[in-house]
Amino acid sequence: MFHAPDFKQLSKQIAAKTSADVEAALSSSRVTQDQLAALISPAAEPYLQQMAMQSSEITRNRFGKTTQLYAPIYLSNYCTNRCVYCGFSADNLIKRKCLTLDEAEREAMILHDRGFQHILLVSGEAESAVDVEYMEAITLRLRDKFAAVSIEIQPMSTEHYHRLFLAGITAVAVYQETYDRDMYKQVHLAGKKSDYDYRLETPARVAEAGMREVGIGALLGLSDWRAEGLAIGNHLAWLRKEFWSTAFTVSFPRMRPATGEFEPLQIVSEQNLSQLIFALRLFDPDVGLIVSTREEARYRNGMLGLGPTRYSAGSCTAPGGYGDADHEGEQFSVGDHRSLEEVCAAIREKGFDPVYKDWDCEFQTGMI
Ligand code: SF4
């Protein structure tokens, strides 16, 4: 079992790093967890350019000149949790909707016709609306139409994840939001999600269930972003050791405006986000790094090829939002409003290839 980090200790470990530690990390052929702390530290800020160059080189060597693309489909915005930062929080008076299987399939086919082959099914956490049977049924409908169907829904048991794996789900994302236990308690006021440890143990259950890929991450803006980065690195290293055949991705969603008007408790700049991405790439050359449409087009264009490997595109965060132009009930407002075609054009302009799938279901058949 991965043990929850002493968050304050992580902050202290990072703050103690010097430029000599950073230089040692940058010349290391294998960055250790302690060296990751140096790369995330304030002492590394003057080395950002060098980190970007090294990160870019590693990314090109491991992933080629490609950027994978996906789009989320919001199935439901019902939620029983009270997370103070989220537009779907049970406290918020928003229009709630859970798509029927036919409606969800229609949304998926809109994305399919736009050219997407990788979709991420997302929902608020309310088992009365979206449970394992619902997820199994929608997956069975979509599995032959897309190269990859991933999910970002409430944490489940290993058994339920395995059922969804057999149905055709290839990847599960479950973000800890914050590894800072005290802050976790302050921002998750009620509901199952307020159990910090159950959430922390979820990525391991996903991997145990046989999923091909597990996504972890933290919501930036709640606590010390540097310590969140080190906690993610430690969690990732533990998962890699326990589940060597599983692929991992990391996402660093920065807080966006949402219903409830929650203001970030910590400011995380684009420069800070870039430092985190470069540091994680140097720490783990094989990890997939995701930058979603929370970030603006200008930033995402600038980061192409420097570390991230996967972008979302053309995203809407309300259930039924692709088919209904007058949709309501978004989780948050996105920062990059470009269509898939526009994102692809920007990727090609940089000399990269947009990749609509990184996975073929034939591989999965061989694994079962
Ligand atoms: S963050 Fe997730 S669990 Fe929390 S209120 Fe939003 S949808 Fe629900």
Minimum-distance ligand 1 atom for the alpha carbon of 79: 8
Domain locations along the chain: 65-275+286-367
SS3 225: helix
Give the per-residue pLDDT at 261. 78
- Does the pLDDT at position 298 exceed 80? yes
Whole-angstrom Cα distance, residue 100 to residue 103? 5
Give the per-residue pLDDT at 30. 95
Q: Looking at domain 65-275+286-367, does it have CATH number 3.40.50.2000? A: no
- Does the pLDDT at position 366 exceed 70? no
Say if CB 155 and CB 197 are below 8 A apart.
Answer: no
Whole-angstrom Cα distance, residue 338 to residue 357? 20
**Cα(30) to centroid(ligand 1), Å:** 37
- Does the pLDDT at position 327 exceed 90? no
- Phi, psi (deg, nearest 5) at residue 95: -70, 120
Whole-angstrom Cα distance, residue 137 to residue 142? 9
Q: What is the band of 218 on the pLDDT scale with cuts at 50, 70, 90?
A: very high
Q: Does 326 or 367 have the greater pLDDT score?
A: 326
**Cα(81) to centroid(ligand 1), Å:** 6
Q: Quickly list H helices, the chain.
A: 7-15, 19-26, 33-40, 48-63, 101-114, 132-142, 158-167, 181-187, 196-200, 202-208, 225-242, 270-283, 297-303, 340-349, 361-367
Q: What is the mean pLDDT of the chain?
A: 93
Q: What is the band of 364 on the pLDDT scale with cuts at 50, 70, 90?
A: very low
- Does the pLDDT at position 361 exceed 80? no
Minimum-distance ligand 1 atom for the alpha carbon of 123: 7
Q: Is the pTM here over 0.85, yes or no? A: yes
Q: Specify the residue with its C-alpha closest to ligand 1, atom 1.
A: 86
Give the per-residue pLDDT at 368. 32
Give the per-residue pLDDT at 358. 57
- Does the pLDDT at position 365 exceed 70? no
Tens of pLDDT, residue by residue over 82-104, are 999 998 999 999 999 999 999 99
- Does the pLDDT at position 367 exceed 50? no
Residue 95 burial (C-beta neighbours within 10 Å; 0-12, 13-18, 19+): exposed
Ligand 1: residues with CB < 6 A are 79, 81, 83, 86, 88-89, 124-125, 193
The residue whose CB lies within 8 Å of the most ligand 1 atoms, and thus the one to mutate among 175, 193, 330, is 193
Minimum-distance ligand 1 atom for the alpha carbon of 90: 5
Largest CA distance in the chain: 59
Lowest mean pLDDT segment, chosen from 10-24, 289-303, 332-346:
332-346
Give the per-residue pLDDT at 171. 98
- Does the pLDDT at position 184 exceed 80? yes
Tens of pLDDT, residue by residue over 66-86, are 999 999 999 999 999 999 999
Instruction: For residue 217, give the H/E element and its range.
Output: strand 213-217
- Does the pLDDT at position 289 exceed 80? yes
Tens of pLDDT, residue by residue over 35-68, are 999 999 999 999 999 999 999 999 999 999 999 9
Q: Specify the residue with its C-alpha closest to ligand 1, atom 7.
A: 124
- Does the pLDDT at position 282 exceed 60? yes
Give the per-residue pLDDT at 299. 96
Say if CB 352 and CB 65 are below 8 A apart.
Answer: yes
Whole-angstrom Cα distance, residue 120 to residue 148? 8
Minimum-distance ligand 1 atom for the alpha carbon of 82: 5
Q: What is the band of 138 on the pLDDT scale with cuts at 50, 70, 90?
A: very high
